[in-house]
Amino acid sequence: MDKFTKIAFGGGCHWCTEAVFQALNGVKKVEQGYVSAGENTMFSEAVIVHFNVEEISLQTLIEIHLRTHKSTSAHSMRGKYRSAIYSFSNVQKLEAEILLKAFQPEFEHQLITRVYPFSEFKASREAIQNYYQKNPKKPFCERFINPKLRLLLNDFSNDVNSDFIQETLKSTLE
């Protein structure tokens, strides 16, 4: 089995989602952009996460995804910010669906996150890629991204990449 694989996640702003997954051990690359899936031909903000299965599990990635966006809220912006896991194979789709069902009891409200087959990706323009790393002091980052990164530090500290912390978090979270 190849130790490197990929999965895509959508839920909130891709700037937030990108920063969350960039902060994790085992994540080798995060592509920020827009994804369409199967019958959902409308593009929605999302990221493709390339990861090493020997360093971080799909289960951990999905749990982090569910806890770092409004995975139980069917708000009015769900077209642009679809709560989704985009699978790259039938096996991965089945595993993600099983994991979603297993996580449901840990949430007070019904998860709205769905698993879709990945269809197409359009990368964000270069100027907004790696947004948090380029702009950690911007109000958007301080208001929306820092709380998600604090959650990672508190609840998933073993999964957080210490290099990422040293490079980007220390100055903004102290």
Identify the sign of the CA torsion 40, 78, 117, 94.
Answer: negative
Which residues are CB-neighbours of 113 under 8 A, at least 6 positions away? 11, 65, 66, 71, 83, 84, 85, 100
Which residues are CB-neighbours of 87 under 8 A, at least 6 positions away? 7, 93, 96, 115, 116, 117, 118
Which residues are CB-neighbours of 136 under 8 A, at least 6 positions away? 168, 169, 171, 172
pLDDT of residue 173: 54
Helix 146-155 and helix 14-22, axial crossing angle in degrees, nearest 10: 30
Give yes or no for a contact between 37 and 86, defined as CB atoms under 8 angstroms apart. Answer: yes
Phi, psi for residue 71 in degrees, rounded to 5: -75, -5
Q: List, for residues 124-150, the tens digit of each pLDDT value.
A: 999 999 999 898 889 999 899 999 998
pLDDT band at 7 (very low <50, low <70, confident <90, very high): very high
d(CA 173, CA 108): 29
Closest CA to 24 of 146, 128, 149, 170: 149
In CATH, 4-168 is 3.30.1060.10: yes
pLDDT of residue 172: 59
The burial class, CB within 10 Å (0-12 / 13-18 / 19+), for 115 is: buried
CA-only gyration radius of the chain, Å: 15
pLDDT of residue 101: 97
Say what percent of the chain tops pLDDT 90: 70
Claim: this prediction has a pTM higher than 0.85: yes
Q: Is the pLDDT higher at 40 or at 143?
A: 143
Tell me which amino acid residue 12 is: G
pLDDT of residue 77: 74
Closest CA to 12 of 160, 166, 151, 169: 151
